[in-house]
Amino acid sequence: MSVSFVINPLDFVQNAGIHHGKIPVDALVRLHDFLFDKEGELIYQISGQFDKHEKPGLHLEINGKIHLSCQRCLGKLLHTIDLQTSLVLVKTEAELDQADEDDTADAILATPDMDVISLIEDEVILSLPISSWHAEGECNVQELESIKENLTNKQSAHPFAALLALKKTN
């Protein structure tokens, strides 16, 4: 990944850090498997803050447009990313296990060298629909069916039928 932004999340929260930027979709390599193409960019903002229980956390805002593949017609499908998520930071694996039992907040382990771009990519991947498709009537299903019919007709013809037609004309 060519784009990188590394923070110590606990220091970032302690200093009430705020960072924003743009990430080209092309730089998010793990996201590529879900995409129709690699066009576009994501705009993000990350801020460090304490929640109402004085626990350190990160607040992420991610916006942008990406192109997914429609599961019906395999065509380009515009998908808008508009995410806002808050993540509680925990210091140990035991705290993470305890936080996982609580469904009210998402928690992550506060490693001293957290890659924010990877965190953003994780959140985008988690937000994607399981199956994506165009709205009713927007797919080019008819076009796909005509292509399928043409392929079926060509496959059913004898492979030497064209040669036989040439032989009869001469």
Give 56-85 pLDDT, tens digit per residue: 999 999 999 999 988 888 888 899 999 999
Residue 14: per-residue pLDDT: 87
What pTM, to 2 d.p., does this model score? 0.75
Between the alpha carbon of residue 24 and those of residues 38, 47, 83, 123, the distances in Å are 8, 20, 17, 16
Whether the CB-CB separation of 12 and 112 falls below 8 Å is answered with no
State which H helix or E strand residue 82 sits in: strand 76-90
Give 7-56 pLDDT, tens digit per residue: 888 888 888 889 999 999 999 999 999 999 999 999 999 999 888 888 89
**In the chain, where are the structural domains located?**
6-137
Radius of gyration of the chain (CA): 25
State which H helix or E strand residue 119 sits in: helix 116-127
Count Cα atoms within 13 angstroms, Cβ side, for 150: 6
Residue 71: per-residue pLDDT: 86
| 3-state DSSP assignment of residue 83 | strand
